[in-house]
Chain A
């Protein structure tokens, strides 16, 4: 899976926008949206919010968690704990990137938010490497990673599963009597 595909999934998340046009309720596969009234906040998927924003038809209201104080708290919590802490959104990385790229004029202190989210990401990736290391060292066969987001899993996932696959094969070599022998003549 590519990061763009993860982003595609993230674009289904809902954000609040303030439109500057009026439109009746629209019926889409997967849910009805609207009605849109100028100046009244309404929830729409991220893909629509970005499209409307690019056409200058709305103002975007940043998600509640996209706030310097809250993100600092999350970052410090992440650094303190050994395991992964719950993230404010399952797509925090994707949403930060999308919203900051297309609507940074609607988000206060956008640069600080970008830095904080990147710091949190780096902390979590370092933690992921560390836990993969001890997972391998302690000869585990399963692990529980509840609070890891899809983008994080996707970045290191192929590498990890392939490495574990190699190790599994090398480990089963040790069990005698398994697998057929070479051809008999």
Chain B
């Protein structure tokens, strides 16, 4: 079944993939921001007023989903300003460069990489550092952007761990392994597991046995009345 199903994957860049379900869920995540000008008749939506006539006053703090923030953000016309969520701020970036492995990216994310990449759209002065940190967390160090000295050992740690745990855990309960991975890493983990499982099945000779398709098995037996109805 899964071979005939081609879901649109996440974009993971400055632009998300329009039809990717993962990207749609990712862009729902809230972003702290501030209204730079008054927004008439919108107070109800922002949960700040009772009647539909009230406007959001200038300078009020907002929690806006990423897709709305992206639409309203404009470097020239200042409608809203966007702040960095705390996991992309310097304090957390320091944690990542100390040891990326200790961070629970699922709790922080669960779309840590995708959301972080989207944040680069907001022309924040810290953009290079954010992009750098996201990359480091996966395991690649590019150019040292700031003067902060980061040992490449830590960057690689997360990649190494995903690789090792996905390729070594055979016939094991993997829920503990994937609990701290973000969605992107989980997909990667699954790919690694599939490679391992397929190989082990082949080695045991299960690949040559013909089995019923999982689709057929799921149907079960239907009653005659159901078929008629």
Q: Name A's B-contacting residues (CB within 8 A).
A: 2-4, 7, 97, 101, 125, 129, 132-133, 136-139, 151, 154-159, 162-163, 166-167, 169-174, 176, 178-185
Q: Are A159 and B167 in contact (CB under 8 A)?
A: yes
Candidates A97, A133, A162, A184; contact of B203 at CB < 8 Å: A97
CA distance A172 to B163 in the complex (A): 23
What are the residues of chain B within 8 A of A159 when measuring CB–CB?
Answer: 163, 166-167, 188, 191-192, 195
- In B133-156, the 8 Å CB interface with A consists of 134-135, 138-143, 145, 152-153, 155-156
Residues A170 and B117 in contact in the complex (CB < 8 Å), given A2-B207, A136-B159, A159-B167: yes
A-B contact pairs, 24 of them (CB 8 A): A2-B202, A2-B207, A3-B199, A97-B203, A129-B167, A133-B156, A133-B160, A133-B163, A136-B139, A137-B141, A137-B152, A139-B141, A155-B198, A157-B195, A162-B191, A163-B138, A166-B12, A167-B138, A170-B135, A171-B140, A171-B142, A179-B13, A179-B15, A185-B71
Q: B200 → chain A, closest Cβ, in Å?
A: 9
State the 6 A-B residue pairs at the shortest beta-carbon distance, nearest first. Answer: A3-B202, A159-B192, A137-B156, A179-B14, A174-B131, A4-B207
Residues A101 and B188 in contact in the complex (CB < 8 Å), given A170-B135, A171-B142: no
Q: B217 → chain A, closest Cβ, in Å?
A: 20
Q: Are A173 and B131 in contact (CB under 8 A)?
A: yes
If over half of B's interface residues share one DSSP class (helix, strand or loop), that class is named, otherwise mixed; here it is helix
What are the residues of chain A within 8 A of B196 when measuring CB–CB?
Answer: 155
CA distance A6 to B39 in the complex (A): 62
- In B155-196, the 8 Å CB interface with A consists of 155-156, 159-160, 162-164, 166-167, 184, 187-188, 191-192, 194-196
Q: Name B's A-contacting residues (CB within 8 A).
A: 12-15, 70-71, 73-74, 113, 117, 120-121, 127-128, 131-132, 134-135, 138-143, 145, 152-153, 155-156, 159-160, 162-164, 166-167, 184, 187-188, 191-192, 194-196, 198-199, 201-203, 205, 207-208
Candidates A132, A137, A162; contact of B188 at CB < 8 Å: A162
* 8 further interface pairs, Cβ-Cβ under 8 Å (given A170-B135, A180-B15): A133-B156, A157-B195, A158-B194, A166-B138, A167-B135, A167-B140, A170-B131, A174-B145
What are the residues of chain B within 8 A of A166 when measuring CB–CB?
Answer: 12, 113, 138, 184, 188
Q: Are B139 and A167 in contact (CB under 8 A)?
A: yes
Residues A170 and B205 in contact in the complex (CB < 8 Å), given A133-B160, A162-B191: no
Residues A4 and B159 in contact in the complex (CB < 8 Å), given A139-B141, A179-B14, A185-B74: no
Q: Are B156 and A174 in contact (CB under 8 A)?
A: no
Q: A103 → chain B, closest Cβ, in Å?
A: 15
